[in-house]
Amino acid sequence: MARQIVECIPNFSEARRPEIVQAIAASVSSIQGVQILDQHSDLDHNRTVITFVGPKEAVEAAAYQSIETAARLIDLNQHTGEHPRIGAADVVPFVPISGVTMEECIEMAHRLAKRVASQLNIPVYLYEEAAQNPDRKNLENIRKGQYEGLKEEILTNPNRKPDYGPAELGPAGATVIGARNPLIAFNVYLTSDDVEIAQKIARTIRFSTGGLRFVKAMGVLVDGRAQVSMNLTHFRKTPLAQVVEMIRREAQRYGVAIHHSELVGLIPQEALEDAAVWYLQLDQFEKNQILENRLADLAIESASVAAPEPSFIDELASASPTPGGGSASAYAGAMAAALVCMVARVTLGKKKYAEVEAEMLQTIETASALQAHLQECVAQDSAAFEAFIHARRLPKDTPEQEAIRLQAISVATYQAASVPLDVAENSLKVLKLAQAVARKGNLNAVSDAASAAALAQAAIIGAGHNVRINLIGLESEEQAAGMLQRLQEIETAQIEIHSTIPTIIKERSQ
């Protein structure tokens, strides 16, 4: 099975204050499993593009953290730059790279959009493959008028109402979130300071004004030189070399030439190979003639026989106290949610289940969000335990130190009980979804729905044990009583819901 990799390339409206760019990048790096591949800041555009990759859940979490950080630190009312923008975190696209489908990236975009709108109170527009409105598929349609224009229109124009969030812009503006295929951000500089020439060339080559099908372009002035700034949205159908040569030809009409070009962020190797083949006219070229490609093939072959990295199960079996039972319970809840998603997905597209298709789509969205949250709880439970141990080891030589130590222990104990209670609460939601897909989902996957219910039940029971053991050390009797009462309500509901599963399975199997 291919390793699951999603790419995210958020654009932020800041480049001139390095401390803010660094804070945004740090918020991305703070999420385990995410790797930043590239960071590009343009002072004239006053814009930074960060490219990072990782598994779905980690990338989605990192995207949220970066949006939250940008919204807190960037005020669009004080922002100026050559590049169009409507938000502090201006555009956040997800790109499927390996082991992930476009449909899953669309689901990620919708989940993130809802979270940003509800938790950060930021208007969110969906674009490209995630667009709910055909007119919003193209990013330039959403960014029309930029921040200043949208700030006025969003209040009165129904067509500018966001997909999620308030119809009002704050200092962080709005954010555009979507899913798309790999894109090449590419700029060509001319031997001229006449920006009108760049604008005329951009008008000729971009698709929206009669140019090349998969080219978006605009003319701007950067560092005193005219620039044709582009996004190439499908390099296989509109090759890079074709774009460059068309710009070269158009530039000659105005008595100028190409000075140099610039790549923003990353580019697929295939695009450069295609350009090299085109310019060198290597008609009989094969990709395995590239030395690095052959070496990469050998590395993959060697890696396939190498010892795998320790898995979560291996870590669970180690002598380390973390991860422990709380993390295992969260993991079980996440697996239950994943199984619910699977049952719902194998139900979609079947004529026999057409009447429940809308319900299954909603189930996928809800279960995916629960899966992501419970996977975050795996690490949160370990972190809570480690914080408790750290608090216990604080110095206590003076009354002041002892007071600080006791306060830290109290806070850590509450957190150590809160995380598994949260796991139990969300696993109950998963159990309800498992019950629903067992009743209405694809009959061929009814045993998978039952397995999801069993895992959700185990998650609740395991989490309950961890809540109770931590409540013993909680100083506030009122807090402890409230948490225990909520846990008991969850456990009672769990028993009632899970007891229906055998009957549902028997009835549907007859």
Q: What angle do CA 412, 414, 415 make, to 5 degrees?
A: 65
pLDDT, position 308? 56
Instruction: Please tell me the distance from the alpha carbon of residue 183 to that of residue 9, in angstroms, as a whole number.
Output: 10
pLDDT in tens, 438-497: 999 999 999 999 999 999 999 999 999 999 998 888 878 888 899 999 999 999 999 999
User: Can you tell me the mean pLDDT for 330-337?
Assistant: 95
- Compute the mean pLDDT over every residue in the chain, rounded to the nearest whole number: 91
80-104: pLDDT as tens digits: 998 899 999 999 999 998 889 999 9
Between 164 and 284, the higher pLDDT residue: 164
User: Encoding tokens for residue 36?
Assistant: 């930043």
For range 340-350, the mean pLDDT: 90
CA nearest to 47, candidates 22, 21, 23: 21
What percentage of the chain has pLDDT greater than the value 70? 97
Annotated active-site residue 40? The verdict is: no
Residue 212 lies in a domain: yes
Which residues, including other chains, have CB under 8 Å from residue 361's CB and lie 6 or more apart?
344, 348
d(Cα 65, Cα 59) in Å, to the nearest integer?
A: 10
Residues 122 and 267 in one domain: no
Q: Which pLDDT tens digit goes with each residue over 370-421? A: 998 898 888 888 888 888 888 888 888 888 888 888 888 888 888 889 999 9
171 lies in the same domain as 191: no
* Domain carrying residue 404: 313-509
**Same-domain status, 172 and 197:** no
Given a cut of 90, whether residue 30 has pLDDT beyond it is no
CB 460 within 8 A of CB 491: yes
Cα distance between residue 78 and residue 293, in whole Å = 47
Q: What is the mean pLDDT of residues 336-360?
A: 90
Q: Are residues 175 and 188 in the same domain?
A: no
pTM exceeding the 0.85 threshold for the entire prediction: no
Do residue 360 and residue 412 come from a single domain?
yes
pLDDT band with cut points at 50, 70 and 90 for residue 309? low
Whether the Cβ atoms of residue 67 and residue 61 lie closer than 8 Å to each other? no
The pLDDT of residue 300 is 60
Please tell me whether residue 170 adopts helix, strand or coil conformation: coil
d(Cα 332, Cα 450) in Å, to the nearest integer? 14
Last residue of a domain, one of 179, 194, 212: 179
pLDDT number for residue 449:
94
Q: Are residues 482 and 372 in the same domain?
A: yes
Each residue's pLDDT tens digit, 115-133 = 999 999 999 999 999 999 9
Domain co-membership, 424 together with 459: yes
pLDDT at 23 over 50: yes
Residue (of 325, 314, 355) closest to 420 by Cα position:
325
**Predicted pLDDT at 412:** 83
407: its two tokens:
């306060």
pLDDT score at 301: 62
Q: What is the CATH number of the domain that holds 118?
A: 3.30.990.10
Same domain, yes or no, for 123 and 226? no
For residues 440-469, one letter each, b for 16 or more C-beta atoms within 10 angstroms of the residue's C-beta and e for the rest, the string is: bbbeebbebbbbbbbbbbbbbebbbebbee
| pLDDT tens column, 153-167 | 999 999 999 999 999
What totals of helices (H) and strands (E) does the chain contain, helices first? 16, 11
Cβ within 8 Å of residue 351, ≥6 positions away: none
The Cα–Cα gap between 8 and 54 comes to 9
Q: In this structure, what token pair is assigned to residue 9? A: 């390339």
* 386 domain-assigned: yes
Report the distance separating Cα 313 and Cα 342, nearest Å. 22
pLDDT surpasses 70 at 303: no
Cα–Cα distances (Å) from 438 to 36, 372, 446, 491, 504, in that order, read 40, 22, 5, 20, 7
Model pLDDT for residues 186-233, shown as the tens digit of each residue: 999 999 999 999 999 999 999 999 999 999 999 999 989 999 999 998
Q: What is the pLDDT of residue 473?
A: 80
Q: Which listed residue (40, 45, 83, 373) is catalytic? A: 83
Give the 3-state DSSP-derived string for 299-336, with helices as H, strands as E and coil as C: HHHHHCCCCCCCCHHHHHHCCCCCCCHHHHHHHHHHHH
Sequence letter at residue 228: V
Region 268-287: what's the mean pLDDT? 90
83 catalytic? Reply is yes
Q: Which helix (H) or strand (E) element contains residue 373?
A: helix 357-392
Select which of 163, 381, 422, 448 is catalytic.
381
pLDDT-derived band at 1 (thresholds 50, 70, 90) equals very low
pLDDT bracket for residue 322 (50, 70, 90): confident
> What residues form DSSP beta bridges with 223?
none
Q: Of 495, 509, 498, 496, whose CA–CA distance to 450 is shortest?
A: 498
**The pairing of beta strand 5-8 with beta strand 47-54:** antiparallel
Residue 237 has pLDDT above 80, yes or no: yes
In a domain, 12, yes or no: yes
DSSP state of 351: G
Does residue 75 share a domain with residue 47? yes
Q: What was the pLDDT predicted at 268?
A: 85
